[in-house]
A and B are shown apart, each in its own frame.
Chain A
């Protein structure tokens, strides 16, 4: 990005070819230009990203219905309705709630796991396998396994609680608890990803920093606080923002495990968009809600860019 490449083939002289550059046929110049390489990407980008985005923007200004009909321009009426729709605010609140209660353990636990595994204790292969393997599971498996574990009467978790003399919890049926159960499931499923990001970052901390500190007589604990954690600050910034973005987009596991229930206690905003569009057939209105949501996502993404830029500047 910084410096323009000095040589391009289209402009470069070709010493061994008989013809001078000017005589290269147009077709060959086109075939060898950057546009030719970019063309396939531009096609899919235009057709499956830009076009749906613009189309969605247009839909959000209409009263289009999924079953045909409607399609008249209604201006900003959909946006006005969304901003006063209590369900939109409720589901946005659910999304934010989930994002908060999932991001904190997903970052902290990942850090603890990575620190422990990186400390060189035996069994590395087993630890990495246990913590990371769930990330590779399809959401259907994750959701069904945890539904079974959280099952009220015969579920493993409640039976363990009963064994300890405690009363069972309505993990997926109690509105006050259900979102926490979804968060637990999500932490189990995806913490391995952040764990690996931290592990990679730890491996790039140079050993000589620790060796110097050891010579200075710093103990293990103070080495952790004065070397390891400061060295991981940039990674933590990125992991936090990536996790915020991922958590905000929560949909799949909730759709399968609770479908937003009980009493919409776990409906995230994307599930509401889905319900409005595909169950309620109001795709114009659904598109308007999703663009309001995009504004929030872009704000968080810009925070990520800012983090990355600041981190580069620090180097």
Chain B
């Protein structure tokens, strides 16, 4: 419906139309949830404003601190505007060491690698569980579901020993491969594939298509939203993963951003403005991704978080 609308009218008009619809919807919701009077609305707005302020404040304070000199950062009384003026020196000295850029690239390699492999491996497995029959299918599916319960933190010790034994410690592979096992994602994708009507694939089967063709040209094209949701969710977790990369990587050149940042800081001692600059640099890529894909991220958390319900 919305696609035909977008095709028919210029983009600006379509957007205005969407905004108008959303406003209309909100007005209806307000009437249903808050009633007609102004009092609940004012109270609701006050509560939202207060909570949003509390939630944004830590970030705002950290951001401001990162633009101060060290003496200004700890000057009392605290002030949002430093006496010596704002400065970029914290960022400059952070980037001058060169490690941050390196860690960002590492994080990107790891997160993209984990996401690509997880989506492919999980989608194939989900197809097998959803659309094919073979001996042991049920047992294997239940083994997959049971694995959802096992917390990955539990396996750090044996997994580390294993990586050392396989000569994989301190490599990208050691960081990436264990994160590719995502039984939840297999489960979510299988549930989605189950709902794709069989009639759609039967036509392809008539033309002699095998399972690979059916997967590629029938199932996958219809599963784009769920694939995107899974990919986004996996990417976020991989980018922010701390414990496993922290344990398996000791070479500073291979560290990811979340692991490297606290590491460099303990080397500096307590330098608050510098700490905040590093924190902001570590946060920037995800904040940017969120700004660009807000709608998709929100819906991906909602779908994958509840197990695709």
Q: What's the nearest-Cβ distance from chain B to residue A60, in Å?
A: 9
Task: Assess the A59–B158 pair: CB atoms within 8 A.
Answer: yes
Residue in B77, B120, B128 whose CB lies within 8 Å of A38 = B128
Chain B CB within 8 A of A148 CB: yes
Residues of B with C-beta under 8 A to A121: 26, 30, 34, 41, 44-45, 48
Residue in B59, B180, B208 whose CB lies within 8 Å of A44 = B180
Report if A144-B278 is in contact (Cβ < 8 Å); known contacts: A35-B134, A138-B258, A294-B150.
yes
Chain A CB within 8 A of B7 CB: no
Task: Assess the A131–B51 pair: CB atoms within 8 A.
Answer: yes
Residues of A with C-beta under 8 A to B301: 132, 193, 196-197
Chain A CB within 8 A of B130 CB: yes
Interface segment out of the listed A46-54, A74-82, A174-182:
A46-54
Task: Assess the A144–B151 pair: CB atoms within 8 A.
Answer: no
Q: CB-defined interface of B128-151 with A at 8 Å, one 1/0 digit per residue?
A: 111111100100110110011111
Residues of A with C-beta under 8 A to B297: 136
Cα–Cα distance between A137 and B132 once the two chains are bound (Å)? 40
Residues of A with C-beta under 8 A to B33: 115, 118-120, 210, 220, 223-224, 228
Residue in B141, B144, B257, B302 whose CB lies within 8 Å of A138 = B257
Task: Assess the A34–B134 pair: CB atoms within 8 A.
Answer: yes
Identify which of residues 210-247 in chain B touch chain A, using a CB-to-CB cut-off of 8 Å. Answer: 210-212, 214-215, 236, 239-240, 242-243, 247
Chain B CB within 8 A of A172 CB: no
Cα–Cα distance between A31 and B25 once the two chains are bound (Å)? 51
Identify which of residues 246-293 in chain B touch chain A, using a CB-to-CB cut-off of 8 Å. Answer: 247, 257-259, 261-262, 265, 272, 275-276, 278-280, 282-283, 286-287, 289-290
Task: Assess the A283–B161 pair: CB atoms within 8 A.
Answer: yes
Chain B CB within 8 A of A6 CB: yes
Chain B CB within 8 A of A83 CB: no
In this complex, what residue of A is CB-closest to B63? Answer: A145
Residue in A37, A52, A149, A274 whose CB lies within 8 Å of B125 = A37
Task: Assess the A136–B30 pair: CB atoms within 8 A.
Answer: no
Which 9 residue pairs spanning A and B have beta carbons closest together?
A120-B29, A34-B132, A200-B302, A41-B125, A37-B128, A56-B158, A120-B26, A220-B35, A138-B258
Residue in B76, B180, B236 whose CB lies within 8 Å of A48 = B180
Interface size class of B (residues with CB under 8 A): 35 or more
Task: Assess the B133–A144 pair: CB atoms within 8 A.
Answer: no
Task: Assess the B247–A278 pair: CB atoms within 8 A.
Answer: yes
Residues of A with C-beta under 8 A to B212: 31-32
Chain A CB within 8 A of B1 CB: no
Residue in A35, A125, A144, A228 whose CB lies within 8 Å of B262 = A144
Q: Could you list 6 A-B pairs, sorted by A, with CB under 8 Å?
A: A10-B132, A124-B26, A130-B51, A138-B239, A144-B261, A200-B306
Residues of A with C-beta under 8 A to B305: 193, 196-197, 200, 242
Name A's B-contacting residues (CB within 8 A).
Answer: 1, 4-12, 14-17, 28, 31-38, 40-42, 44-45, 47-49, 51-53, 55-56, 59, 66, 112-113, 115-134, 136-141, 143-149, 151, 153-154, 156, 159, 163, 188, 193, 196-197, 199-201, 207, 210-211, 214, 219-220, 223-224, 228, 235, 238, 242, 245, 248-249, 251-252, 256, 270, 273-274, 277-278, 283, 286-287, 290-291, 293-294, 297-298, 301, 308
Besides the contacts A41-B122, A126-B52, what 9 more A-B pairs have beta carbons closer than 8 Å?
Answer: A32-B212, A35-B128, A48-B181, A120-B32, A138-B242, A144-B279, A193-B305, A196-B302, A235-B306
Task: Assess the A44–B181 pair: CB atoms within 8 A.
Answer: yes
Chain A CB within 8 A of B177 CB: yes
Q: What's the nearest-Cβ distance from chain A to residue B25, in Å?
A: 7
Q: CB-defined interface of B28-61 with A at 8 Å, one 1/0 digit per residue?
A: 1110111100001100110110011001101101
Chain A CB within 8 A of B81 CB: no
Chain A CB within 8 A of B154 CB: yes
Interface segment out of the listed B10-18, B89-97, B198-206:
B198-206
Task: Assess the A52–B155 pair: CB atoms within 8 A.
Answer: yes
